[in-house]
Amino acid sequence: MIHRRSLLLRAMALGAAAPLGGCNYEDPAHPDLADKFLHAMSAWNDRVQAALFDPHTLAPTFRPDQITNPPRFNAFYPIDQAPVVDEATYKLELGGQIQNKTPWSLRQLRTLPQESQITRFVCVEGWRVIGQWSGVPLGRFLRQVGADTSCKYVSFKCADGYYSSIDMASALHPQTILALDFLGAPLTAPFGAPVRLRIPTKLGFKNPKSIMQLAVTNVYPGGYWEDQGYNWFSGS
Ligand SMILES: Nc1nc2c(c(=O)[nH]1)N[C@H]1C(S)=C(S)[C@@H](COP(=O)(O)O)O[C@H]1N2
Ligand SMILES: [Mo]
């Protein structure tokens, strides 16, 4: 019974997410009302998805021969405009409720234990690819720097002005990594070099690339697409 109820809630949550993705519904007579309604639905949807999220359930993994080659690029601009970050001087900046905010170089990030995963990447636009990402589990990193993991959000700011944020339970999920490598080699510029979030339990736009700043906070940080109406939790 409980199982059926959670399935129903999940179906409702996913169904309710659909009309929000990229669709600008406006009732000409009551534009604000329609907008408020959709935002209220999306906020409710976030709560349902957070309640259903099982921090121990793993996203499916795949075999090496299932990897999509070449990978697929997406951003809010064309591939030739992707930012190029200087890896020699790069330092990941830390903010918010973190005890040790000393920035991290790439060399330092590589001294931490690395995890590798072959997982599916699902974009809200309706395509999916399978790839192999490796890097530092975000939970491991957060504990290393003394983050207050009782906070609600982890937020990310990127080299191209993109930004996003995730809930703490998803940040601590074992498959959520600060990815440094793709197919065993350092990430390339358009695909998120030098550091990107790889979180296979969420949709593609919750995987910020070329991360410059990471913060832990209780103040809702939103995101580039989230602030334009995309459902914030966006579990996949
Ligand atoms: N910095 C940055 N990260 C980003 C985006 C972006 O425009 N800028 N787009 C997001 C979206 S919508 C998708 S689908 C994925 C695409 O990642 P890929 O190019 O590795 O496939 O990156 C996400 N992260
Ligand atoms: Mo996307």
- Asked whether residue 131 falls in the same domain as residue 160, the answer is yes
Task: State how far the Cα of 199 lies from the Cα of 48, in Å rounded to an integer.
Answer: 19
Average pLDDT value for residue range 166-170 = 98
Mean pLDDT, the chain, as a whole number?
91
pLDDT in tens, 90-117: 999 999 999 999 999 999 999 999 999 9
Average pLDDT value for residue range 43-53 = 93
- Asked whether residue 127 falls in the same domain as residue 169, the answer is yes
Residue 15 has pLDDT above 60, yes or no: no
| Coarse DSSP helix, strand, coil percentages of the chain, rounded to the nearest 5 percent | 30, 25, 45
CB of 209 closer than 6 angstroms to any ligand 1 atom: yes
Ligand 1: atom nearest CA of 159 is 1
Q: pLDDT band at residue 23, thresholds of 50, 70 and 90?
A: very low
- Asked whether residue 7 falls in the same domain as residue 115, the answer is no
CB of 128 closer than 6 angstroms to any ligand 1 atom: no
Ligand 1: atom nearest CA of 190 is 19
**AA letter at 222:** G
Ligand 1: atom nearest CA of 72 is 21
Of the residues 84, 155, 207, 224, which should be mutated to test ligand 1's pocket, given the most ligand atoms within 8 Å of the CB?
207
pLDDT in tens, 178-198: 999 999 999 999 999 999 999
Query: Looking at residue 122, which CATH number applies to its domain?
Result: 3.90.420.10
- Asked whether residue 140 falls in the same domain as residue 196, the answer is yes
- Asked whether residue 131 falls in the same domain as residue 185, the answer is yes
Average pLDDT value for residue range 50-77 = 97
Structural contact between residues 14 and 49, judged by C-beta atoms closer than 8 angstroms: no
CB of 75 closer than 6 angstroms to any ligand 1 atom: yes
Q: What is residue 22's predicted lDDT score, i.e. its pLDDT? A: 45
- Asked whether residue 20 falls in the same domain as residue 113, the answer is no
Task: State how far the Cα of 151 lies from the Cα of 219, in Å rounded to an integer.
Answer: 9
Instruction: Using the mean position of ligand 1's atoms as its centre, give its distance from the Cα of residue 202 in Å.
Output: 12
7-16, 200-209, 215-224: lowest mean pLDDT where?
Answer: 7-16
CB of 44 closer than 6 angstroms to any ligand 1 atom: no
The total number of structural domains in the chain stands at 2
How much of the chain exceeds pLDDT 90, in percent?
81
CB of 226 closer than 6 angstroms to any ligand 1 atom: no
- Asked whether residue 48 falls in the same domain as residue 69, the answer is no
Q: Is residue 154 part of a domain?
A: yes
Whose atoms come closest to the Cα of 195: which ligand?
A: 1
Q: What is residue 232's predicted lDDT score, i.e. its pLDDT? A: 97
pLDDT in tens, 129-165: 999 999 999 999 999 999 999 999 999 999 999 999 9
Backbone angles phi, psi at 84, to 5 degrees: -110, 115
Instruction: Using the mean position of ligand 2's atoms as its centre, give its distance from the Cα of residue 83 in Å.
Output: 17
Query: 20: domain range?
Result: 2-52
| DSSP code, position 189 | G
Pairing of strands 177-182, 185-186: antiparallel
Q: pLDDT band at residue 5, thresholds of 50, 70 and 90?
A: low
- Asked whether residue 10 falls in the same domain as residue 111, the answer is no
